[in-house]
Structure 1
Amino acid sequence: MALVNHQIILAERPKGMPDSGTFKFVKKDVEELKEGQILVRTLFVSVDPYMRGRMQDAESYVEPFKVNEVIEGGSIGEVMESKSGNFKQGDVVIGMFGWQEYYVANEKEIRKIDPSLAPISTHLGILGMTGLTAYFGLLEIGRPKEGETVVVSGAAGAVGSAVGQIAKIKGARVVGIAGSNEKINFLKEEWGFDEGINYRTAEDLESEVKRACPDGVDVYFDNVGGEISDAVFTQLNRYARIPVCGAISTYNLEEVDIGPRVQPTLIKKSALMQGFTVGNYSERFNEGAMQLGQWLQEGKLKYRETIKEGFENIPNAFLDLFKGNNIGKLLVKVAERKYVE
């Protein structure tokens, strides 16, 4: 009897916030393996803000998702069967096989991870793309110096929380912006941020930034864009650096986002503002992963995961990203490992 694969496909391109009509659950028989192929059973699926951009039929740094095809994304799985000499049953692997329960992979589409180093889920978070995004964006563009003030928006998310901790390792004073008092407390008590701003309750966000940053802002790691970034820009110091990682506040807008013009501020402050994606540093991933792993083992770096259970909950977990319902990395656990030594 053929193995049945449950998949989630992009049913239609959303206008504004995605909803249940954006996604469709389908079933498909798993193909017989050919020489060199590997059958992978999904264990964890990553949901990330950048996926919203790929739902649009627009030019970007990565191709858009195709309608009526499986939604791609970072996933961790377990090898169930292998016709490759490089993989065996029970190997834990990572790849971009996305929102489906099974995947027939070619050898170059996946790579092994070592389950003994850290929980396997961390390879989709602090030891994976989100950790590397924080590492390279902050250190290569932000370049924080000891005693400087670093502000992070989206600070309670997977990238933002790592940015703040790395900035602390480098001796900076760190201010995080997030959307609840619970998150602010977590930033300060768990991750060592010096100050926090709840943008949802702040009556005057610009005044709150000024209060939290009496010496101005030297580095602003921007994950959200919009009015939060407008408020931070007013407090930039001379030669400030602004790594632009994301703009989640704008991803579901149906009209072009219009706000204050940033050019006069950049000129007056001789500030640097640079957008980036983690792929820019792909040749240095091993370097970044080794350093993140070392900090993790030394206790200098901590992480938090929000894990939803069940394949059927992947779309809802994705939508939670835009409601601010997660602290740290948001993942969906699809299955338990079957082959554990």
Structure 2
Amino acid sequence: MAEIMEVRNKKLILKDYVSGFPKESDMDVISSGTINLKLPEDSKGVLVKNLFLAADPHLRPLMKKADNFSVLQSFTPGSPLHGYGVARIVDSKHQDFKEGELVWGITGWEEYTIITSPETLFKIHHDDVPLSYYTGILGMPGLTAYAGFFHVCAPKRGERVFISAAAGAVGQLVGQFAKLSGCYVVGSVGTQAKVDLVKNKFGFDDAFNYKEEPDLDAALKRYFPEGIDIYFELVGGKMLDAVLLNMKVHGRIAVCGMISQYTLDNHEGITNIMSLVYKRIRMQGYNVVDYYDLYHKYVEFILPCIREGKISCVEDIVEGLESGALALVRVFRGLNIGKQVVSLAKE
């Protein structure tokens, strides 16, 4: 009889639902129980060894109990977190995937994950870029930036573009896509180091630290005296309220996140919402899953840009699942610079 191979599976769990800013103590790394490295014959899924996990802002809303307005499924206290990651297939009972293949997609915050419906996983075929890029520029944030800017915003050469959270995984790419499209680009960030990063590394025309601006409306008028054509929304709250006053007629706003609201029990109201009517602004929320069919087209666009040095990305990598809680807290506090990644490659 063949030997059954089992290993202990280390996991990062959420202890209980969170209110306000999460703390490292809200999560815990446990190593309980074992996982069989061979799937049962009647399985149709895949077993993966996780290599890199993406510490993304959208994980914060999943840490609170879902309310009547949410379409998101909250994390289950006592169970591993889940999100986008890069993994290697250890065993497969699915006809489209083979042992040893590399993939990216939704996985668990644990060493090994059984993915029962692997149809939404993307195979990784490129070996001349770092694997961690598939948590960022070649993964969900990259496709989010591409779909939001080119398909939701439909930019035109010469337009004036404003991006909040401009040093993050999505914002840094949107700014560079805008520059490639011949636009004028300004970003808002939370530190002077990030101001320097988006201007000197990512080629933004300008940037400002919103924490040093007592009047956001005045700040935007300073950088956009003729108004904003495109706003890429990643922050929400007071920033969105100020932007609405400074949009041009027929401006476009793509909304893929509002990180300033994720830690609030009661979301901030927007007082300048009538600007949407007065200026005939199109404001559209979207989710990357609606654009999965564009991924191969996106890869054809972005890989040459990376190889030719036309697009840069910055990663903030921590090692080990034990650093996972810290990585998430850093994202929610705005302490990361670039794409926050947790590496399990050495575990």
Give the TM-score, by structure 1 length.
Answer: 0.91
- Pairing 1:219–2:230 present: yes
1:197–1:209 CA contact under 8 A, matched in 2: no
Match of 2:243 among 203, 227, 232: 232
- Pairing 1:132–2:140 present: no
Residue 75 of structure 1 aligns with an amino acid whose one-letter code is G
**1:159 Cα deviation from its structure 2 partner:** 0.4
Residue number in structure 2 paired with 1:8: 12
Q: Percent identity?
A: 37
Distance in 2, matches of 1:80 and 1:256, equals 43
**1:38 Cα deviation from its structure 2 partner:** 4.4
Please state whether the residue corresponding to 2:211 is helix, strand or coil.
Answer: coil
Please state whether the residue corresponding to 1:281 is helix, strand or coil.
Answer: helix
Residue 34 of structure 1 aligns with an amino acid whose one-letter code is P
**1:272 Cα deviation from its structure 2 partner:** 0.8
Residue 3 of structure 1 aligns with an amino acid whose one-letter code is V
Residue number in structure 2 paired with 1:19: 23
Please state whether the residue corresponding to 2:332 is helix, strand or coil.
Answer: coil
Structure 2, unaligned runs of 5 or more: none
Residue 266 of structure 2 aligns with an amino acid whose one-letter code is E
Distance in 2, matches of 1:255 and 1:83, equals 45
Bigger Cα displacement from structure 2, 49-58 vs 37-46: 37-46
- Pairing 1:280–2:290 present: yes
Residue number in structure 2 paired with 1:201: 212
Bigger Cα displacement from structure 2, 252-261 vs 116-125: 252-261
Give the TM-score, by structure 2 length.
Answer: 0.90
2:85–2:106 CA contact under 8 A, matched in 1: yes
Q: How does 1:1-341 map to 2 (within 5 A)?
A: 2-26=6-30, 27-31=32-36, 32-35=38-41, 38-56=46-64, 57-58=66-67, 59-81=69-91, 87=97, 89-106=99-116, 108=118, 110-262=121-273, 264-336=274-346
2:143–2:298 CA contact under 8 A, matched in 1: yes
**1:153 Cα deviation from its structure 2 partner:** 0.2
| RMSD, aligned α-carbons | 2.1
Please state whether the residue corresponding to 1:97 is helix, strand or coil.
Answer: strand
2:104–2:139 CA contact under 8 A, matched in 1: no
Mark the CA change 1:111 to 1:223 in structure 2 (over 3 Å): closer, same or farther. closer
Bigger Cα displacement from structure 2, 143-152 vs 76-85: 76-85
2:11–2:321 CA contact under 8 A, matched in 1: no
**1:171 Cα deviation from its structure 2 partner:** 0.5
**1:234 Cα deviation from its structure 2 partner:** 1.7
Please state whether the residue corresponding to 2:82 is helix, strand or coil.
Answer: coil
Distance in 2, matches of 1:288 and 1:251, equals 29
Mark the CA change 1:188 to 1:236 in structure 2 (over 3 Å): closer, same or farther. same
Distance in 1, matches of 2:169 and 2:267, equals 27
Distance in 1, matches of 2:93 and 2:183, equals 51
Mark the CA change 1:266 to 1:39 in structure 2 (over 3 Å): closer, same or farther. closer
Distance in 1, matches of 2:346 and 2:125, equals 16
Give the number of equivalent residue pairs. Answer: 336
Deviation track 1:294-340 (CA, whole Å, cap 9, x = no partner) reads: 32223221111111111101011011112111122110111239xxx
**1:203 Cα deviation from its structure 2 partner:** 2.9
Distance in 2, matches of 1:87 and 1:143, equals 36
**1:111 Cα deviation from its structure 2 partner:** 4.3
Residue 51 of structure 1 aligns with an amino acid whose one-letter code is L
Structure 1, unaligned runs of 5 or more: none
1:92–1:115 CA contact under 8 A, matched in 2: no
**1:106 Cα deviation from its structure 2 partner:** 4.8
Mark the CA change 1:195 to 1:71 in structure 2 (over 3 Å): closer, same or farther. same
Distance in 2, matches of 1:183 and 1:306, equals 13
**1:87 Cα deviation from its structure 2 partner:** 4.8
**1:210 Cα deviation from its structure 2 partner:** 1.1
